[in-house]
């Protein structure tokens, strides 16, 4: 595995592969790699000649009161995991090479960026879209891999790819879960033992809502109430940012469930903000 820190060198290396007709799979990450990330890398390995993984804790996508400083970092352990999966290139840029002092460009996807988590994390998806646009231009991948756990992020990125004519395929991979259903996330490491048990209520509540849809309930309002009740029953969940039943592409609220929807929730347990979602078909 090659470890490259300079964007220009990654760009030239990837371009050489593409010129030889090789397909390039790309898995952008913020490190603190877990089974979710590894499933993306495995999928990229299966579908492409070359796999590039990036680790970059992107300051642009953290709000001023968010967890940028304490976001988990362990490059050596990450690097070993990536290497064990026979990744070809690990791209490890530092902040200064990604954002020069004169940096002043942003990519904004209006509409879908402002819903759900966007209401609680202003600027977050602008930061995501901007860094992903940069990474796409550096790596010029054939396919880029994202986890469904960050569902809104996948919608924002797909919209950006279409709108700005990026020539690549966005591949969304299923959420990987712990045995009790908790979606695996780098932020789970923030949870104390009791909080960790409480966190399982998120998936349990979403699943109950999804089950009710499958059994014929068509009122999104009643489904949301069911999920909220499940979450409220867990005392360590100290805030529910939202429970939402939304359209797959627009993220607009659905009232009557007549087609496949996303059932999504964001909560706080202590200071830790956790999100999860389920695709629910009628």
What does the binding site for a second copy look like in residue numbers (CB under 8 A)?
Answer: 7, 11, 15, 18-19, 21, 100, 102-112, 129-130, 133-134, 137-138, 140, 159-160, 162-167, 249-250
- Name the minimum Å distance from CB 45 to a second copy: 23
For a second copy, give the closer residue by CB, 110 or 282: 110
- Name the minimum Å distance from CB 259 to a second copy: 17
For a second copy, give the closer residue by CB, 25 or 36: 25
- Order the strands of the 261-269 sheet from edge to edge: 237-247, 261-269, 272-280
Q: Which residues are catalytic?
A: 37
- Name the minimum Å distance from CB 184 to a second copy: 30
- Name the minimum Å distance from CB 281 to a second copy: 22
DSSP string for residues in 145-180? EEETTSHHHHHHHHHHHHHTT--SEEEEEPPPB-TT
In 3-state terms, what secondary structure has residue 14? helix
For a second copy, give the closer residue by CB, 139 or 173: 139
For a second copy, give the closer residue by CB, 117 or 206: 117
For a second copy, give the closer residue by CB, 159 or 224: 159
34 contact partners, CB below 8 Å, separation of at least 6:
176, 184, 185, 186, 188
274 contact partners, CB below 8 Å, separation of at least 6:
183, 185, 187, 188, 199, 202, 266, 267, 268
- Name the minimum Å distance from CB 60 to a second copy: 11
Please name every residue paired with 239 in a beta bridge, in sequence order, or none if there are none. Answer: 268
Q: At what angle do helices 124-139 and 7-19 cross, to 10 degrees?
A: 50
- Order the strands of the 50-55 sheet from edge to edge: 2-4, 89-91, 50-55, 24-29, 143-147, 169-173
In 3-state terms, what secondary structure has residue 138? helix
Smallest CA-to-CA distance from 133 within 101, 117, 152, 109 is with 109
């Amino acid at each position: 595995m090659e470890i490259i820190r300079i964007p220009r060198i990654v760009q030239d290396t990837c371009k050489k592969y593409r010129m030889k007709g090789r397909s390039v799979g790309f898995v952008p990450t913020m490190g603190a790699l877990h089974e979710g990330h590894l499933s993306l890398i495995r999928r990229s390995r299966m579908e492409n000649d070359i796999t590039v993984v990036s680790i970059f804790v992107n300051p642009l996508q953290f709000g001023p009161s968010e967890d940028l400083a304490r976001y988990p970092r362990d490059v050596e352990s990450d690097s070993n995991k990536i290497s064990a999966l026979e990744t070809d290139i690990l791209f490890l840029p530092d902040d200064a090479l990604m954002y020069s002092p004169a940096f002043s460009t942003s990519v904004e996807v209006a509409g879908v960026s402002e819903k759900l988590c966007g209401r609680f994390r202003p600027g977050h998806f602008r930061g995501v879209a901007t860094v992903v646009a940069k990474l796409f231009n550096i790596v010029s991948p054939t396919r880029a891999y994202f986890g469904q756990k960050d569902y809104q992020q996948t919608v924002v990125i797909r919209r950006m790819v279409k709108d700005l004519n990026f020539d690549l395929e966005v591949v969304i991979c299923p959420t990987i879960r712990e045995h009790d259903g908790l979606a695996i996330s780098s932020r789970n490491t923030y949870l104390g033992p009791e909080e960790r048990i409480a966190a399982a209520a998120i998936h349990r509540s979403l699943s109950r809502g999804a089950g009710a849809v499958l059994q014929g309930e068509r009122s999104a309002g009643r489904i949301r109430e069911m999920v909220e009740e499940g979450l409220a029953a867990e005392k360590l969940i100290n805030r529910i940012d939202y429970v939402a039943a939304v359209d797959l592409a627009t993220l607009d609220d659905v009232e009557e469930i007549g087609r496949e929807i996303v059932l999504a929730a964001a909560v706080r347990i202590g200071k830790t903000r956790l999100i999860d979602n389920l695709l629910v078909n009628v």
